[in-house]
Structure 1
Amino acid sequence: MDDSSLIDRFVDSLWLEAGLSENTQAAYRTDLRKLSKWLQQHNRCLRVVGRDELLAYLAEKMKKGSKSSSSARLLTTMRRFYRYLLREQIIDEDPTLKIEHPKVQRLLPSALSESEVDSLLNEPDKELEIEHRDAVMLEVLYASGLRVSELVGLRLEQLNLRQGVLRILGKGGKERLVPLGEAALEAIEGYLTAVRPLLVSDLQNPTVFPSMRGREMTRQTFWHRIKLYAQRSGIRKNITPHTLRHAFATHLVNHGADLRVVQLLLGHSDLSTTQIYTHVAKARLQRLHSQHHPRG
């Protein structure tokens, strides 16, 4: 079986067993195709390769400027691929077994302060239909910690306003219930009654927050909308699609929320992913101590 067929079989297994998104599948496929091409130049193939060749490939990538985080992701791809080949009895030994993971400096997410969030949420002009929609989206994003893709893809059937929760289908097809605060719930109810009917011509349209054309908004469009309001409100921090998600988690931890509860709300499969917010909280406390303590 050639490399291309092996890669296709592996990626198909990712979809069947883990329900990974198309973007994630594409990333695995791209990584393995590049590795296959490099191996062919060195008279090897994916099935016939040893630890030394894989280390040489990783070293060459690093030499060309690849970051340690990219190398770590690439090694994760290779490990998952070779474990699959081992399980399917296509190879007898996993060549990644004794390759150590590169140390990655974990950068703390840049979170907005509570006053900055207030400024951002109050910036849209609710007299304008589009900005009213944006104001509600920002409110929901901060209240729920949704991923931006989950927010723009939100459907009417996912809302349970009576119970005040959202039913979210997250990464890997995992479903979770996310509660909404009173402010966000009130904002959605008012928007659905007075504003959304003006944005959709088709009453069968299930999208909660349609674009100006009445379709599902893209992540990039909403990101640009957030950056616009940040600029107008005088926020100078770098705004990313996850800015309000980070703020949601950071502010919960700062106010004493249990980390496992935050994990469930964010839809993280691994608690270690959520633990970065404890570092954010510690960093904030250290900053406050140095600013206000007489011997800080």
Structure 2
Amino acid sequence: MIFQLPSYKVYLSLERGLSKHTVKAYINDISKLFSYLSNSENTEISYDNITDKHLIQFLAAINELGIEASSQARMVSGIKSYFQFLVLSNYLEEDPTILLESPRLKRKLPETLSLHEIDKIMEIIDLSTPEGIRNKAMIELLYGCGLRVTELCELKISNVYTDVEFIKIIGKGNKERLVPIGTSALKHLTIYLNERRKIVAANGFSDFVFLNRFKKSLSRISVFNFVKELALKAGIQKNISPHTFRHSFATHLIEGGADLYAVQEMLGHSSITTTEIYTHLDRDYLKSVVLQYHPRS
């Protein structure tokens, strides 16, 4: 195959350890690159005859389409990774992406919820139904452990250690991390697990913590919809998603004085620079820190 995409996919999954969502995005971007170049050149393009001019032409085209800078940056990252793979695998001698630059990104602060808003959402959940008990445990874990939505959906009973108050998370790139469970999250997770053990799951789903009405694992989209519905019922106007609870978890920890490296470990970030975005603390808090700890204050 002229694209070598199957081999590239294996490389991304096994050697780079990227998540299946990232792998899919990279593969799609490379396919778009070849499709665009083949159409614009009126001939089939192979990896071994692409030049830096071709790549610049493609990036200019997607920029004209109004694609967001973050998506363009991901495309550049995927293209660079693809040609690096071809060089490493001896399919190419030279990498045409060496001089390729990503668009500069504005560092966007994540949307977060206040403690009052978190409480409003927690209170709106109806605990009189089995579904409500499950949903309460889900929200408590999203906020109390800073989980990604995929990590929540794929959480296994065998990775929940209520006796020592930890859960084992399989994060991006299949990286494992241990995350402590707070008192409230542990309480509602324990209540739900007592109910969960009465449910006979569908084949292949017996170890999943959270199940849908078909006794299978929850989908990411169902959690997204559930969170949107909760926010609406609680009267919260912000555009929130399951990830908003993860942002709030990190922000509230840092505002409370938590060590940045400890937060990095709990979030499963490979780089501390990713965690640093949560240091957008309010001025009053920063001022109080200076007044309390600076020797000349």
Same fold (TM over 0.5): yes
CA RMSD of aligned residues (A): 2.1
Checking the alignment, whether the CA contact within 8 Å between 2:255 and 2:285 is kept in structure 1 is no
Letter in 2 for 1:81: Y
Aligned ranges for residues 107-256 of structure 1 at < 5 Å?
107-193=108-194, 195-197=195-197, 200-202=199-201, 205-256=206-257
CA positional deviation for 1:126: 1.0
List alignment gaps of at least 5 residues for structure 2: 288-297
Contact (CA 8 Å) 2:133, 2:191: kept in 1 or not?
no
Alpha-carbon displacement from aligned partner over 1:196-238 (angstroms, at most 9, x marks no partner): 245x135982222221232211111122221222111111111
Task: Specify the SS of the correspondent of 1:167.
Answer: strand
Structure 1 portions without partners, runs of 5+: 290-296
Corresponding letter in the other structure for 2:244 = T
Q: Deviations over 1:163-216 (max 9, x none)?
A: 0000111111110000011111122222222x3245x13598222222123221
Which amino acid letter does the alignment assign opposite residue 201 of structure 1?
A: V
Q: Give yes or no for contact 2:48–2:92 (8 Å, CA) kept in 1.
A: yes
Structure 2 CA distance, aligned partners of 1:96 and 1:286? Answer: 46
Supply the distance in 1 between the matched residues of 2:35 and 2:16 (Cα, whole angstroms).
27
What is the aligned length?
A: 282
C-alpha distance in 2 between matches for 1:10 and 1:110: 35
Q: 1:262-277 counterparts in 2 under 5 A?
A: 262-277=263-278
Query: What amino acid does structure 1 have at the position aligned with 2:79?
Result: M
Q: Contact between 1:120 and 1:233, CA under 8 Å: does it hold in 2? A: yes
Give distance in 2, aligned partners of 1:27 and 1:272.
Answer: 23
Match of 1:2 in 2: 2
Change (3 A) 1:102 1:45: same
**Residue 118 of structure 1: CA displacement?**
1.1
Which amino acid letter does the alignment assign opposite residue 234 of structure 1? G
2 CA distance for matches of 1:287 and 1:177?
29
Q: Which residue of 2 aligns with 1:67?
A: 68
Evaluate the alpha carbon distance shift between residue 119 and residue 54 of structure 1 in structure 2; reply closer, same or farther with a 3 A threshold: same
Q: How many Å apart are 1:101 and its aligned residue? A: 1.8
Which sits farther off after the overlay, 182-191 or 172-181? Answer: 182-191
Q: In structure 1, the residue corresponding to 2:47 is in which secondary structure?
A: coil
Structure-2 residue corresponding to 1:13: 11
After superposition, the Cα gap between the structure-2 partners of 1:227 and 1:57, relative to the gap in structure 1 and judged at 3 Å, is same
In the alignment, the residues of structure 2 paired with residue 275 and residue 223 of structure 1 have an alpha-carbon distance, to the nearest angstrom, of 26
Q: In structure 1, what is the equivalent of residue 46 of structure 2?
A: 45
Structure 1 segments (4+ residues) deviating >4 Å: 286-289
**Amino acid in structure 1 at the alignment position of 2:130:** E
In 2: Cα distance, 1:168 partner to 1:79 partner = 30
